[in-house]
Structure formats: C-alpha cells, structure tokens
Amino acid sequence: MVKTILHLLTMVLAIAFTAGAHAHGSAKPKHGGVVAMANDLTFELVGTATGAVIYIEDHGKPMAPTGITGRLTVLSGAEKTEADLAVAGDRLEAKGVKLGPGTKVVAALTNQAKKPITVRFSLK
C-alpha cells in the first residue's frame, strides 16, 4: 500500500514539474489577438481595419520577422481569401482579408533558411 502511494506521488510530482518545461513563451495574447505555436515560436494573429498582422515571439521575446515570407489563407464558411504576408516593422502584414468569429486562418511561412512553417489559428 505504501509503495503504491509513493509511486503515485512520484508520478504526480513528475507531471507537475515537467508541465511548464515545454513552454516557449507566453500563450496569452499581447496585442489582443489569437495565439498559436509552431517550430518553437509563438505567433499572434491580430485583425486590423485593413487586414491582419502576425507578431512573432521566440521564448517570450519579440522576434523581428526579417527574411520571413508567406501567405495567409482565411476560411470563413465557404468563403476563402488569400493574401501575401509582408514584413511591416516588427510584424508580418496581410492586407485585404477579414477576420471574424468562426474564421480559420492558415499562415504558410518560409523563414530565412527556406524552412517552411505552417501556423493554424481558429477564431472564436
């Protein structure tokens, strides 16, 4: 009985201490958007009056999107809209897309090393 309790306690403690070890930054939005993670980076999608922007963080620190290119695909019901993503200061920007509740968004990115990164967002 004591052996079983010790085994259970050991497992609970192991899970408790390793739960935070896999985090690579905050999962909370800092710009009022929706957060997703891919390739050890945190991406935040934010709707704007003219389209959408994506902020990138690496282990909780803002990352300049220098050299990153890509395309944003927005699925809203049966409607599909696509727009190129361009570097705009400290973020990537896509013009001409509309984000709303129930919208699914896929950002197909390529980093400076030509490695593809796919980020999926779901707006509620």
Q: What global pTM score does this model have?
A: 0.78
* Nearest of 86, 85, 23, 88 to residue 57 by alpha carbon: 23
CA distances from 88 to 16, 24, 27 (A): 40, 24, 23
Q: In the numeric block, which tokens belong to residue 67?
A: 């050299």
Task: Find the range with the poorest average confidence among 10-19, 68-77, 78-87, 107-116.
Answer: 10-19
- For each of the domains in the chain, give its residue range(s) and CATH number, in order of start: 24-122 (2.60.40)
pLDDT at 29: 86
> What average pLDDT does the chain have?
85
* pLDDT of residue 112 exceeding 70: yes
Residue with tokens 């909370």: 28
